Amino acid sequence: TREEITYFGAGPASLPTTVLQNASSAILNFQNTGLGLAEHSHRSALSNDILAATENSLRSLLSIPEDYAVLFMQGGGTTQFSAVAYNLLGYWVQTQLNKANGDIEVVREKLKKAKMDYVVTGGWSQKGSEEAKRLFGDGIVNVVTDSKKGFGEYCGIEEEKKWKRTAGEDNVFTYYCDNETVDGVEFPGFPKSLEGGVVAADMSSNILSRRVDVSKFHIIFAGAQKNIGTTGLTIVILKSAILQTQPTPATLRALYLPIPPIMMSYPILAKNNSLYNTLPIFDVWIAGEVMKELVAAGGLAKQEDVANRKAGKIYAAVARAPGIFKVVPLEGARSRMNICVRAQPAELEGVFLKGAEERGLLGLKGHRSVGGIRISNCMPCFTSLFSCILWLTWKPADNSITEAGVDKLVQYIDEFVQKNA
């Protein structure tokens, strides 16, 4: 049963049971309308209210500044690899064109030196950089740092002073992945050397797990299926200037640049309140329910505490057995969300995973591209004063991965070590 297992998969991740219970009645008969939520028109007043409430909760959690827009999209994080590059190149082109008083020849010259900077610290940022090359050519992509070259594998973040950044207005944007889900590498904070630039970040696997200064970014995006909700929804937070400063298709054609597909055009989606086409409002509602609870449970400061505590317990358990377990990433770059571990000898990994499964500790196998063991510590967590009151009167509100689930895993790790030391 659901109560007997803890699912440590990286995404889709486990969601709070209370939200799913409400969702199961919402999909049959939403607010006594007789229609399930997935059957209601995305253009109804009811759907508009859901969109507005979900956006408000997100704005409140991340303290999103007024001059930022929020978009709800489909296509996952992967679609954003393309959308970010299209829209930020457009932003750069139009900015340069404005400076040159509309002289397209000047921009054509500037384009020859323009670079999209990619900070490659793992498989997902690598994929982002590959997509930019596929769309715009190898020449325009500058890999600022590549951890695989620096360390032999994706296990750390090179010192910023070694990064080969593009300076000044030749820099179209800089892109990085805040938490590399497959490799377990997370930035401890905003990279100092990117301060003041046009920066886009993939926060698919650590959004809402800590506080973030949104004003440092031009774009933040995240697929919902790890920390926020169900698969099928992607959240994009972006500076409004990007929407207002875009070239026409004719300008792009004159510069021999590709025109973004309509579903990747941020200005068009924004103008239509994310409803240019049929948006899955049911998924938006689930994300909204989760975020509403997070606001009530003390916001992101609280989530940060819980994430740090749960990850700390797991890293400590692994560190008690250096002869058996080795954390893949180096200290200083270790993810709080995805804890990547190898066991030695390698045969022990299978034994560990099998024993875990027998105890209802599921989803611990490393990503197929790297193997090993991956403990994903996804959010959200609803434990709060509010939920304690609920508990006295009703039942405990729950987390995706409860602290009790983490304790069970830690106990298993300790027992496993005793048996195999």
Q: How far is CA 359 from CA 4, 212, 320, 349, 409, in A?
A: 9, 36, 21, 16, 9
202 forms part of the interface with ligand PMP (CB under 6 A) = yes
Number of residues that bind ligand PMP (CB under 6 A): 11
Minimal distance, residue 77 CB to ligand PMP, in Å: 3
380 forms part of the interface with ligand PMP (CB under 6 A) = no
Closest to ligand PMP by CB, 62 vs 324, is 62
Task: Give CA–CA dist 288/52, Å, rounded.
Answer: 9
Closest to ligand PMP by CB, 177 vs 279, is 177
φ/ψ of residue 56, rounded to 5:
-60, -40
329 forms part of the interface with ligand PMP (CB under 6 A) = no
Helix (H, G, I), strand (E, B) or coil at 19: helix
Which of 13, 57, 77, 93 is in the footprint of ligand PMP by CB under 6 A?
77
The full DSSP string for 63-75 is T--TTEEEEEESS
Closest to ligand PMP by CB, 107 vs 177, is 177
Contacts of residues 264-267 at CB distance under 8 Å and 24 or more positions apart, as own/partner, are: 264/79, 264/82, 264/83, 264/86, 264/87, 265/86, 265/87, 266/69, 266/71, 266/83, 266/87, 266/236, 266/238, 266/242, 267/243
Which of 56, 78, 240, 245 is in the footprint of ligand PMP by CB under 6 A?
78
Which of 70-78, 158-166, 317-325, 368-376 is the region at the interface with ligand PMP (rule: CB under 6 A)?
70-78
Closest to ligand PMP by CB, 57 vs 338, is 338
Closest CA to 176 of 148, 161, 157, 196: 157
Joined tokens for residue 193: 């050397």
83 forms part of the interface with ligand PMP (CB under 6 A) = no
183 forms part of the interface with ligand PMP (CB under 6 A) = no
Which of 164-172, 197-205, 343-351, 368-376 is the region at the interface with ligand PMP (rule: CB under 6 A)?
197-205
Joined tokens for residue 150: 């620096």
119 forms part of the interface with ligand PMP (CB under 6 A) = no
Which of 76, 229, 232, 366 is in the footprint of ligand PMP by CB under 6 A?
76
405 forms part of the interface with ligand PMP (CB under 6 A) = no
11 forms part of the interface with ligand PMP (CB under 6 A) = yes
181 forms part of the interface with ligand PMP (CB under 6 A) = yes
**58: phi > 0 → left, psi -120 to 50 → alpha, else beta; which?**
alpha
Task: Give CA–CA dist 134/138, Å, rounded.
Answer: 7
Which of 72-80, 143-151, 167-175, 247-255 is the region at the interface with ligand PMP (rule: CB under 6 A)?
72-80
Closest to ligand PMP by CB, 48 vs 78, is 78
14 forms part of the interface with ligand PMP (CB under 6 A) = no
Which of 47-55, 199-207, 212-220, 284-292 is the region at the interface with ligand PMP (rule: CB under 6 A)?
199-207
Instruction: Give yes or no for a cis peptide into 12 (omega within 30° of 0).
Output: yes
Q: Are the beta carbons of 21 and 292 closer than 8 angstroms?
A: no
Task: Give CA–CA dist 286/2, Å, rounded.
Answer: 19
Closest CA to 203 of 182, 191, 219, 216: 219
Task: Give CA–CA dist 232/75, Å, rounded.
Answer: 7
177 forms part of the interface with ligand PMP (CB under 6 A) = yes
In DSSP terms, 115 is beta-bridged to 171
Closest to ligand PMP by CB, 26 vs 203, is 203
Closest to ligand PMP by CB, 166 vs 206, is 206
Which of 26-34, 54-62, 71-79, 299-307 is the region at the interface with ligand PMP (rule: CB under 6 A)?
71-79
Minimal distance, residue 11 CB to ligand PMP, in Å: 5
Task: Give CA–CA dist 78/137, Å, rounded.
Answer: 18
* Residue reference for tokens 């270790």: 334
Minimal distance, residue 10 CB to ligand PMP, in Å: 6
Minimal distance, residue 204 CB to ligand PMP, in Å: 4
204 forms part of the interface with ligand PMP (CB under 6 A) = yes
Closest CA to 78 of 271, 232, 286, 244: 232
Which of 45-53, 157-165, 200-208, 339-347 is the region at the interface with ligand PMP (rule: CB under 6 A)?
200-208
In 257-404, the DSSP E strands lie at 325-327, 338-343, 361-362, 373-376
Minimal distance, residue 188 CB to ligand PMP, in Å: 16
176 sits in which H/E element:
strand 171-177
229 forms part of the interface with ligand PMP (CB under 6 A) = no
Q: In the complex, which residues of this chain contact ligand PMP (CB under 6 A)? A: 11, 76-78, 124, 177, 181, 202, 204-205, 223
